[in-house]
A and B are shown apart, each in its own frame.
Chain A
Amino acid sequence: MSKYEFDNIKKHLNKEKYGKISFSDSGKDRVLMKITSSNKPKKKKMPLFQKLLLNAAAVVAFMVMGAIVVNEVQESPKTSVSEKNTETIEKKVVQEKPEQTVHASSGETTNDKEWTDRTVAENIENFDAKNLKEWIAVTDEMFKATLADVHADDPAHYYYLSASNVNGNLGFRYDAEGIAIEKDLKNLQALTGIVEEEHKKRYAHLNIENENPFKYKDQFKPADERLFQAHKYTADLISDINVAINKDGKGTNNGYAYMLDGDKIKELESFIKN
């Protein structure tokens, strides 16, 4: 039994395996990033009285505006005004009506912008966002946050961490079903993939295996312009998706999301393909 008294077990374990196990710097960064994004102050709830007052004011304002419009219509020559009004109304209807796709086989119509949350509940941990809407809002805040001092010497590394955070969550935890949203999420995944790929190119020449590359950050090559551009597109696309799914389309449209009928989608997709 003497040779199995286990006094040396720690030494053996360290030598064989445990001595090489360490909590990576990138892991620590991720923890700090997660707590930073969950620390944003939440909007204060408006008192009930103030809410009611605001709603009443809005109703009064609409009624006054309606009265003015009706008054103007009655005073102007009937035919031309009614034509103009019809035109405006028709234009409005066309603008506000979401694009629809007709399925050739069934003849059914589908709204391009309609979507269903496909968050994978079993992969959601205690402090994760509970659904796609929440996750996109938090991620948008994260991408809009000012770069922390600790990352000031190498922003590309921080961009890589942010991208891998998005890429790791997308599909694994958060997903959606719908024509436009699926295209947007696919583009988002491609963009974050580019950031990750470009970052890995920075230390490819070091042939690092089974080690945290960050230990050798002083030997990294400078990041390529493509990494920064991909990060910029990622941030703008996330912002667009956030406007579409959390703000009813009200807010800055950067032009990169199908959900907002973006006018720069071609530019974005050509960047991804190249």
Chain B
Amino acid sequence: MNSLHLNGKLRMLSKEELLTQLMDDYGDMVKKLAYTYVKDINLAEDITQDVFINCYHNLHVFNENSSYKTWIYRITVNRSKDILKSNAYKRVLPFKKFNLISKEKSPELSVIDKSIYNSVADSLLVLPSKYREILYLFYYEELKIIEINEITSLKEATIKTRLSRGKQLLKKELERRKIEL
């Protein structure tokens, strides 16, 4: 079903029904995108709730030429970036970083950690967020450059540059971890 057709169908629902439908259709996607930014599943769940509350309160300003999907993506990206900038997040971050890069582990723990550590997901998540977001939207969500432009408000040339640079960085990271795709 194309998004305009879907938009037309959704317009016929009440505000609450529409929200429920949007949560069912895009809830997982919003949480995954938020997780890609904040790397914390509980925080991603909170962001997802905020995003849909925000959607509900702003349904009247939704531009019908756009699709709900792109609109919700944009809200998610903005909310996630706000959280990343917030003081509360920065206060927690140092401990998380410490956990991720801690090298003083017993040999047994290292073996266990290796399977978790050597994953494509973790390789992606250690990249700087400006590359991570583009790679995720392009490869995981399979969005076109023009759609990413609509969501992130970045110029197409910038997106292409970040995509190319991000690919190089991810490739290096995968090689370093000896992972083959």
Q: Specify which of A5, A17, A125 is in contact with B121 (CB 8 Å cutoff).
A: A17
Asked if B52 and A31 make an inter-chain contact with CB atoms under 8 angstroms apart, the answer reads yes
In the complex with contacts A4-B171, A122-B86, A16-B44 CB distance below 8 A: no
Asked if B170 and A6 make an inter-chain contact with CB atoms under 8 angstroms apart, the answer reads yes
Q: Does A22 contact B (CB under 8 A)?
A: yes
How many interface residues does B have (CB within 8 Å)?
A: 41
Q: Specify which of A9, A12, A24, A32 is in contact with B20 (CB 8 Å cutoff).
A: A32
Asked if B88 and A122 make an inter-chain contact with CB atoms under 8 angstroms apart, the answer reads yes
In the complex with contacts A10-B139, A21-B28, A22-B28, A27-B174 CB distance below 8 A: no
User: Size class of A's contact patch?
Assistant: 20 to 34
In the complex with contacts A21-B32, A123-B88, A31-B120 CB distance below 8 A: no
What separation, in Å, do the CA atoms of A18 and B119 have in the docked complex? 12
CB distance from A191 to the nearest CB of B (A): 24
With CB as the reference atom, state the residue of chain B lying closest to A123: B88
Asked if A9 and B53 make an inter-chain contact with CB atoms under 8 angstroms apart, the answer reads no
Asked if A27 and B48 make an inter-chain contact with CB atoms under 8 angstroms apart, the answer reads yes
What separation, in Å, do the CA atoms of A220 and B50 have in the docked complex? 29
What separation, in Å, do the CA atoms of A106 and B181 have in the docked complex? 73
In the complex, what residues of B have CB within 8 A of residue A7's CB? 181
Q: Does B142 contact A (CB under 8 A)?
A: yes
Q: Specify which of A5, A18, A22 is in contact with B140 (CB 8 Å cutoff).
A: A18
With CB as the reference atom, state the residue of chain B lying closest to A21: B32
Contacts A/B (CB < 8 Å), 17 sampled: A4-B174, A9-B140, A12-B120, A13-B121, A13-B124, A21-B28, A21-B41, A22-B31, A23-B28, A23-B31, A28-B23, A28-B24, A34-B49, A35-B16, A35-B53, A125-B50, A126-B57
User: Which residues of A approach B to under 8 Å, CB–CB?
Assistant: 1, 3-10, 12-13, 16-18, 21-24, 27-28, 30-32, 34-35, 122-123, 125-127
